Structures are given as C-alpha cells and as structure tokens.
Amino acid sequence: MTLHTTPAVSSAGIQQDFRDAMAALAATTCVVTCHENGARWGRTVTAVFSLAVEPPAILVSIRADSELADMICRTAGFSFAMLSESQHAVADAFAGKVARAERFQHGDWGSWPSGMPRLSGAVAAMDCTLGKHLETSGHILFVGHPQNITLDGKVRPLIWHDRTFNTVQPL
C-alpha cells in the first residue's frame, strides 16, 4: 500500500494514485445534455448526485472550459439521463468516441417540453432548470431543479467501475 500526504501542489504520484482510487468508486453513468437555438450538446458524466429532496435538487459537475458548461449557463437549464445497462453505446458516444455531430444518433432521443433533449429507455431522466453554480478545480458544479422526470423501474443502471462498464445485481 502506498501512503501519500497531500502536498500544497499535487505531484504526479498523487494524481495517478487519485485516478486509481477513483476508478474503484462505482458510479452510475449519466449523460448531461443541453439545447440552444437548434444546437444540442451533451457529455457522459459520473459526477452526478442527489443534493436534496425538498426542494428536489441534483448536482452535476462539468468541465468549466467546455461548450456544454457555457450552454448550460446561457440557457439556465439542462437535462440528464441515468443510462440503462443496454445504453453503453450512448455512453461511449457522449464520452467522445464519436464525432460531436454524431452523438445524438446513438439512443432514442426526443425533447422535453422545455426543448432540452430527452433520452428514452434510461433508468431515469430529468429536465432541470438551473439553480446556483460554483466554479472550482476547473469544473462548474451545477445545481439543477427537476421540472419533469421519467422513470423506468424495469431496467438496471449502467455502472462505471474499474475503468469498464458494469451493472448491478441483487445480492
């Protein structure tokens, strides 16, 4: 076992150990999307979590230098989908394995009443208005307040763990 203390400036060893430690953290694979003036943007993320139930709020982390972050700020909203185990091709596409113009060709996409993209077949999908946001560590943490939600309790989530896709099985 390697023991590191956190220095004021990260060393290469700490960064690699951090990446390896985070690879052991199982997370639901999601796609965060946005729409503005006919343009749709999206990105695969695992940094999504429930923030509060009253009022309902989620938190998503997006790279600050991305066009998606800019679009979320301009439109004051976003949508996201918790991918099902059968949607790994969607996850790969939105992770950058296909050209940006081809991403929405993967999966069954429609629109929420707000105009934001909506993915069918996901475990859950939400159309959110933007609450507060905070820039930190090269990312923006966006608080979203769901306005519309779809759920499919019959599908299992797509999980990212140990740098590969997995799903959950009851014990």
Q: What is the pLDDT of residue 4?
A: 45
pLDDT tops 60 at residue 170: yes
pLDDT tops 70 at residue 164: yes
Per residue, what are the HEC states of the chain?
CCCCCCCCCCCHHHHHHHHHHHHCCCEECEEEEEEECCEEEEEEECCEEEEEECCEEEEEEEECCCHHHHHHHHHCEEEEEECECCCHHHHHHHHHHCCHHHHHHCCEEEECCCCCEEEECCCEEEEEEEEEEEEECCEEEEEEEEEEEEECCCCCECEEECCEEECCCCC
- As a whole number of angstroms, the distance between CA 44 and CA 83 comes to 10
CATH architecture of the domain covering 28-161: Roll (2.30)
Beta-carbon contacts of 143 under 8 Å, excluding residues fewer than 6 positions away, are 51, 57, 58, 59, 130, 131, 132, 133
Nearest to 108 by CA among 87, 127, 126: 87
Q: What is the pLDDT of residue 10?
A: 63
- As a whole number of angstroms, the distance between CA 155 and CA 106 comes to 18
Q: How confident is the model at residue 169 (pLDDT cuts 50, 70, 90)?
A: confident
pLDDT tops 80 at residue 32: yes
pLDDT tops 70 at residue 5: no
pLDDT tops 90 at residue 13: no
Residue pLDDT, tens place only, 71-96: 999 999 999 999 999 999 999 999 99
Q: How confident is the model at residue 9 (pLDDT cuts 50, 70, 90)?
A: low
Read off the tokens for 127.
């159309």
pTM metric for this prediction: 0.89
Residue pLDDT, tens place only, 46-59: 999 999 999 999 99
